[in-house]
């Protein structure tokens, strides 16, 4: 008698159960994988700023001053950026040697060099790692940087915090008063702009009276040239027109907005006179003031969870919480404001 041998296999129900188990495992593992990837990106971003911070320190060791936020010609026209000046100290002597410093940074003869994407000027968490200065007619267009120097704290920042610029007022703060020379000097950072600084932006370690380990030099300001808001969202034209930040961005054909200030790493405009942003991200220096991660309009902004990295004048790097007290943030930017700085 012939015996019919049954072939082992899965029933449809068993197959569906296996698929469901696999789907659950993927759902459980995917966040962990994404978290591990972001942790690696965050570490790389920190290393980038470590390189930049040490390059600035080595520059100061060579010249006894830090580079200015930007070099200007006799007429006050922006010529070169601090980021160009430190290239030899970040193992980029070849780029620096082929960059013609006798010409303006955006001269067509410099297009190839300033259009070179430099990985240490890019945070790997940024959604647009191939960002370019879309305003430029050069080919290639200038390559973006996700980091900016903190040249000063704007007097508008203190006004937004409720300080008065009127002499005699009970809330008068000389740092809120743009006409007060002493207050203006107190607001300056390490990589200052010459026209704003009482020392003509010749700043060495001896000038950082607040302490090098307590004073920021370069921060994340990522996402450019696109405009981003407080929830890592792309801002719309309507949102920015409702505030004053609309003047800082240009509409693109794809519907996005492009930053009209300093985007390229070689752009002398890549320096922040820190104002903070309104909580909705539409207005620099607006109230209620949010110092970090509200807008990337030349302000502190990152795509990391909870804060952003900042290089300190001593070459160290700190991760700064986006919930930092607004006055504390101003205090760690100024090099000689005389504020008491604790842990942050």
Question: In whole angstroms, what is the distance from residue 129 CA to residue 108 CA?
Answer: 23
Q: Which two tokens stand for residue 28?
A: 């459980």
The per-residue b/e assignment along 251-282, b for 16 or more CB within 10 angstroms, e otherwise, is eeeeebbbbbbbbbbbbbbbbbbbbbbbbbbb
Q: For residue 212, is pLDDT > 80? A: yes
pLDDT computed for residue 254 by the predictor: 63
Q: For residue 221, is pLDDT > 70? A: yes
Mean pLDDT is lowest, of 19-33, 153-167, 250-264, 304-318, for 250-264
Q: For residue 87, is pLDDT > 60? A: yes
CA-to-CA separations, 302 to 115, 206, 221, 313, in angstroms, rounded: 23, 31, 6, 20
Q: For residue 7, is pLDDT > 70? A: no
Question: In whole angstroms, what is the distance from residue 161 CA to residue 108 CA?
Answer: 43
Judge residue 225's burial from the number of C-beta atoms within 10 Å of its C-beta, 0-12 exposed, 13-18 middle, 19 or more buried: buried
pLDDT computed for residue 220 by the predictor: 97
Percent of the chain with pLDDT over 70: 90
pLDDT computed for residue 6 by the predictor: 55
Question: In whole angstroms, what is the distance from residue 134 CA to residue 123 CA?
Answer: 19
- Residue of 255, 303, 294, 269 lying closest to 122 (CA atoms): 303
Mean pLDDT is lowest, of 196-210, 244-258, 277-291, 322-336, for 244-258
């Amino acid at each position: 008698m012939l015996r019919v041998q049954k072939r082992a296999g899965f029933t449809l129900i068993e197959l569906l159960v296996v698929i469901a188990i696999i789907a659950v495992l993927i759902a459980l593992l995917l966040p962990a994988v994404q978290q591990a990837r972001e942790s690696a990106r965050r570490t790389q971003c920190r290393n980038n700023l470590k390189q930049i911070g040490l390059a600035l320190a080595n520059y100061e060791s060579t010249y006894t001053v830090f580079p200015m936020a930007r070099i200007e010609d006799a007429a006050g026209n922006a010529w070169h950026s601090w980021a160009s000046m430190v290239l030899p100290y970040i193992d980029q002597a070849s780029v620096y040697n082929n960059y013609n410093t006798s010409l303006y940074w955006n001269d067509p003869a410099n297009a190839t060099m300033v259009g070179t994407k430099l990985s240490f000027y890019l945070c790997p968490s940024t959604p647009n790692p191939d960002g370019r200065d879309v305003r430029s007619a050069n080919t290639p267009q200038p390559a973006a940087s996700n980091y900016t120097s903190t040249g000063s704290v704007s007097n508008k920042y203190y006004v937004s915090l409720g300080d008065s610029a009127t002499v005699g007022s009970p809330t008068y703060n000389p740092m809120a008063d743009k006409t007060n020379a002493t207050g203006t000097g107190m607001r300056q950072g390490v990589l200052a702009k010459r026209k704003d600084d009482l020392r003509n932006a010749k700043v060495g370690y001896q000038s950082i009276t607040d302490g090098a380990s307590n004073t920021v030099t370069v921060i994340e300001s990522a996402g450019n040239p696109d405009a981003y808001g407080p929830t890592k969202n792309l801002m719309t034209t309507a949102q920015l027109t409702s505030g004053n930040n609309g003047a800082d961005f240009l509409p693109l054909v794809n519907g996005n907005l492009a930053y009209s200030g300093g985007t390229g790493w070689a752009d002398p405009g890549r320096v922040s006179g820190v104002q903070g942003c309104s909580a909705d991200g539409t207005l620099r220096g607006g109230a209620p003031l949010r110092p970090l991660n509200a807008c990337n309009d030349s302000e502190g902004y990152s795509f990391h969870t909870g804060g952003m990295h900042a290089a300190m004048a001593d070459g160290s790097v700190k991760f700064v919480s986006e919930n930092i007290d607004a006055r504390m943030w101003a205090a760690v930017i100024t090099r000689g404001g005389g504020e008491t700085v604790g842990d942050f």
